[in-house]
Chains A and B, each alone.
Chain A
Amino acid sequence: MAPWLASGLVYASALALTAGGITLLYITTRTFNFAHASMATWGFYVAYTGTVLYGGSPYRYFPLSFLFGSLLGVVCYVGLNRPLLRRRAAEITLMMSTLGYDLVLLSGIQIYCDYLTHTFRLFPRRVTMSSYDAEIFGMSASPLILPLTAILILTVFHLFLAKTKFGISMRATIENPLLAGVSGMNSDKVYLAAWVVGGGMASLGGAFMSMAMTGTPVMGMMTLPFMFAGAILGGLYSLYGGILGGFLVGLAEYGAVYYLAMLGGPWVLGYRMAIPLLIMAIVLLVFPSGLAGLPWGSLPRKLAGAMRGVKS
């Protein structure tokens, strides 16, 4: 396995989860969730606290991270998002409300870090979670386990959307809230479910992310643009597109930086964040509906047509 691929895979699955969460919340509640940043960081700190204080592998505490994220999501929905949705607030207002929530959560994270430092004599402001990682086949387990976990979660979620009654009503509400409401589906429950899953995915993604990079109180805040880049690459209208977009952005960042640094020297490393943003800019300017908006079915035919000079 190439050296960048190991942490790249972990990072990419983290971005896939968070970008998927952002997309899910956007297609259900029209909310660009800024609070994803601090929700992710909280997920990391839940896993960190469990690992450091109660021992064992960090993976044991990942479900707890997911639950905590769900809790944060429910609080955000009930306290903030639902009143605004009922008022038919504008997209910008919804965005700003989650920004306020994010700042409150960030303040909580910082206070919690101070508390950990003072009470347990820990150093929670620079954490290398990968040092707690288990080993499989003589190498660290995270590049293997985490992408598999991400795929597992997404499969479960897909089955839930495709096979269960509530999942189908959820899809219906996403497609057309008005029609779904007329057919007797409770959009309130659907939105709540979206926040439960979206918040959980954010926190779990944050816990994943800490396995690939140094965990700090502003980890989520720093990576928020990349989560958005993944969601935008996915097109923002398809959940699977968002997940795939996040994954591609993560892999592209690690891979491109690795090879560019080999070519151009280590100074490239400082500008790594330009890569996801470049992807985002290209997507927005060239195919604004993202991956999901591309005509995958007819693409080969169209490309062939374009080569022959036929306009389709």
Chain B
Amino acid sequence: MIITLLVLAVLAYIFFTGGVPLLLTILLDFAIFSIVTLSLNLEVGHTGISQFGRVIAVIAGAFAVGAVPGRLLAWFMGLPHGAEYADDAVNYTVVPKLTELLASSVVLSVAFLLFSLILAAVCGALVGWLTSRPAIRLKEAYLGISLLAFGDLMMWVGHNWEPLVGGTTAVFIPDPFRVVWAYRFPAAVGTALVLVFLTYVLVRRLTKSPFGRALNMIRDSDVAAAVCGKDMVKLRTYSLMIGSALAAVGGAFYVIYAGTCTAVGFTRLTWTFWPWAYMMLGGIGSDVGILLGVLVLVVARTLILINRTTLFGFLMAWGIDPMWLEYALLGLVIIVVVLFMPHGLVPAKVEPVLPVERVRQVAERRPSEQPDSA
């Protein structure tokens, strides 16, 4: 609670000193990483899968949006849409035309955005299904390392296979927010926040449902779950598919907002380890905690970034870029959390299956047996 107030105070301070653009930047970072981290929490915190390859699903979403929707539009307009679409000389001329087309119609822009996000989710779910094949066989650490390596492999494939997303050069993405011209940035941030809200609601509903409780049961004891007739393989597969679909939406929104998609931008540092740090700070398994953890770290990183000349000017005298302190901050956060507060800022609570009020009602209906069972 205190931390929430503190963060809000810092946000207000940023708002008054840095103005609206800075606040929007923070909110956008917060939104994208919240989606990714919530999806990570669904797999790690609720299902107990050691997901060290979050970047896989993010890449799936980002590459899908980088490669497919723009090509479809180009195909409709009769512009080059084959392998040459991703060539930087062609891409550079084609995409502005597509953006102009999108800017001419609100319906088309919204349809483009929705199609991109849904496509990303489908691709994410597909990749999630693929990664679930080893996930049902391997022990936790082995699985983590396999996923980590697979994520790297995907990044290198994108880096080397040019027709996909341009290889070493960036591929541009038609901008669906161009319709609102001057309000592009606020509109993007608003959409992102809506997506976070939807993700949060979805994850909450899921984890409270019988399905989510079965996931928690697998996490706590897979033998007990098997005894109760829960199919571990199926549940883990579903969890990975849903989580990966959500993360893919996060990645897709990131590239749509950025307007470009470069393969080397999707490192395991940014898209696997940062979400892990956010999740650990917020509290593994606690969805509210995740939002708080992401907010705290995003604000901290932004503060380091904007105050680096004033706060860390003494480092500049040695030619050292204070940007690197970001890594140290992240590492120290992980170490401190692991050593001193293993449950994070908002520890995950054991929630009753039904609200207490509802349990009392059920008990009152059968007064003869156990009147005080509530």
Query: Chain B nearest CB: distance from A204 CB in Å?
Result: 22
B323-354 Cβ-contact flags toward A at 8 Å (1 or 0): 01111101111110011001000000000000
Which stretch from B11-19, B95-103, B145-153 is at the chain A interface? B145-153
Distance of A84 Cα from B340 Cα, bound (Å): 10
Is the CB–CB distance between B134 and A284 below 8 Å?
yes
> At the interface, yes or no: B318 with Cβ under 8 Å from chain A?
yes
Q: Which residues of A contact B152 (CB under 8 A)?
A: 225, 273, 277
A80-91 Cβ-contact flags toward B at 8 Å (1 or 0): 100110000101
Q: Which residues of B contact A80 (CB under 8 A)?
A: 335, 338-339
Per a CB cutoff under 8 Å, which of A91, A96, A115, A221 touches B320? A115
- Chain B stretch 105-145: residues in CB contact (< 8 A) with chain A: 134, 137-138, 140-142, 144-145
Q: Which residues of A contact B325 (CB under 8 A)?
A: 107
A96 and B334 contact, Cβ closer than 8 Å, known pairs A80-B339, A114-B319, A221-B269? yes
A232 and B328 contact, Cβ closer than 8 Å, known pairs A84-B339, A111-B320, A114-B321? no
- Known A-B contacts: A105-B331, A280-B149, A281-B134. Give 18 more (CB < 8 A): A32-B141, A32-B145, A92-B141, A96-B276, A101-B335, A103-B273, A104-B331, A107-B327, A110-B324, A111-B320, A115-B320, A117-B319, A225-B145, A267-B160, A270-B160, A273-B152, A277-B149, A280-B146
Q: Which residues of A contact B335 (CB under 8 A)?
A: 80, 97, 100-101, 104
Q: How many pairs of A and B residues are in contact by the CB < 8 Å rule?
A: 127
B204-224 Cβ-contact flags toward A at 8 Å (1 or 0): 000000000000000000000
Q: Which 4 A-B pairs have the closest CB atoms?
A: A118-B319, A100-B334, A103-B331, A270-B160
> At the interface, yes or no: B156 with Cβ under 8 Å from chain A?
yes
- Chain A stretch 66-125: residues in CB contact (< 8 A) with chain B: 80, 83-84, 89, 91-93, 95-97, 99-108, 110-111, 114-115, 117-119
Is the CB–CB distance between A107 and B149 below 8 Å?
no
> At the interface, yes or no: B159 with Cβ under 8 Å from chain A?
yes
Distance of A228 Cα from B53 Cα, bound (Å): 15
> At the interface, yes or no: A257 with Cβ under 8 Å from chain B?
no
> At the interface, yes or no: B72 with Cβ under 8 Å from chain A?
no
> At the interface, yes or no: B233 with Cβ under 8 Å from chain A?
no
Is the CB–CB distance between A103 and B145 below 8 Å?
no
Per a CB cutoff under 8 Å, which of A104, A114, A232 touches B318? A114
Is the CB–CB distance between B146 and A103 below 8 Å?
no
Nearest A-chain residue to B327, judged by Cβ: A107
Distance of A32 Cα from B332 Cα, bound (Å): 19
Nearest B-chain residue to A281, judged by Cβ: B146
Q: Which residues of A contact B153 (CB under 8 A)?
A: 273-274, 277
Query: Chain A nearest CB: distance from B134 CB in Å?
Result: 7
- Residue contacts A-B, CB under 8 angstroms, 30 given: A83-B339, A84-B339, A89-B338, A92-B140, A93-B338, A95-B50, A96-B280, A97-B334, A97-B338, A99-B276, A100-B332, A100-B335, A107-B325, A107-B327, A107-B328, A108-B328, A111-B315, A114-B318, A114-B321, A115-B318, A117-B319, A118-B318, A225-B145, A229-B149, A270-B159, A270-B160, A274-B156, A284-B142, A284-B146, A288-B142
Nearest B-chain residue to A84, judged by Cβ: B338
Distance of A120 Cα from B248 Cα, bound (Å): 45
Q: Which residues of A contact B148 (CB under 8 A)?
A: 225, 228
Distance of A119 Cα from B339 Cα, bound (Å): 36
- Chain A interface (Cβ < 8 Å from any Cβ of B): 32, 80, 83-84, 89, 91-93, 95-97, 99-108, 110-111, 114-115, 117-119, 221, 225, 228-229, 232, 267, 270-271, 273-274, 277, 280-281, 284-285, 288
Q: Which residues of A contact B331 (CB under 8 A)?
A: 99-107
> At the interface, yes or no: B157 with Cβ under 8 Å from chain A?
yes
Q: Which residues of B contact A93 (CB under 8 A)?
A: 338, 342
Nearest A-chain residue to B331, judged by Cβ: A103
Query: Chain A nearest CB: distance from B120 CB in Å?
Result: 24
Kindly state the interface size class of chain B when it binds its partner: 35 or more
Per a CB cutoff under 8 Å, which of A100, A103, A284 touches B138? A284
Nearest A-chain residue to B133, judged by Cβ: A285
Distance of A91 Cα from B280 Cα, bound (Å): 15
Query: Chain A nearest CB: distance from B210 CB in Å?
Result: 26
Nearest A-chain residue to B137, judged by Cβ: A285
Q: Which residues of B contact A95 (CB under 8 A)?
A: 50, 141, 144
Q: Which residues of A contact B150 (CB under 8 A)?
A: 277
Nearest A-chain residue to B152, judged by Cβ: A225
Q: Which residues of A contact B160 (CB under 8 A)?
A: 267, 270-271
A273 and B320 contact, Cβ closer than 8 Å, known pairs A100-B332, A107-B328? no
Is the CB–CB distance between B338 and A96 below 8 Å?
yes
Q: Which residues of B contact A228 (CB under 8 A)?
A: 145, 148-149
Distance of A285 Cα from B334 Cα, bound (Å): 32
Distance of A97 Cα from B303 Cα, bound (Å): 25
Distance of A298 Cα from B141 Cα, bound (Å): 30
Distance of A119 Cα from B333 Cα, bound (Å): 30
Nearest A-chain residue to B143, judged by Cβ: A284
Q: Which residues of B contact A105 (CB under 8 A)?
A: 331
Is the CB–CB distance between B145 and A232 below 8 Å?
yes
- Chain B stretch 137-191: residues in CB contact (< 8 A) with chain A: 137-138, 140-142, 144-146, 148-150, 152-153, 156-157, 159-160
Q: Which residues of A contact B342 (CB under 8 A)?
A: 89, 93
Q: Which residues of B contact A110 (CB under 8 A)?
A: 321, 324, 327
Query: Chain B nearest CB: distance from A4 CB in Å?
Result: 20
Q: Which residues of B contact A270 (CB under 8 A)?
A: 156, 159-160
Is the CB–CB distance between B334 and A91 below 8 Å?
no
Query: Chain A nearest CB: distance from B333 CB in Å?
Result: 7
Distance of A270 Cα from B156 Cα, bound (Å): 7
Is the CB–CB distance between B50 and A92 below 8 Å?
yes
Distance of A101 Cα from B335 Cα, bound (Å): 7
B261-283 Cβ-contact flags toward A at 8 Å (1 or 0): 00000000100010011001000
Distance of A274 Cα from B149 Cα, bound (Å): 9
Per a CB cutoff under 8 Å, which of A103, A221, A271 touches B330? A103
Is the CB–CB distance between A103 and B327 below 8 Å?
yes
Nearest A-chain residue to B160, judged by Cβ: A270
Is the CB–CB distance between A111 and B324 below 8 Å?
yes
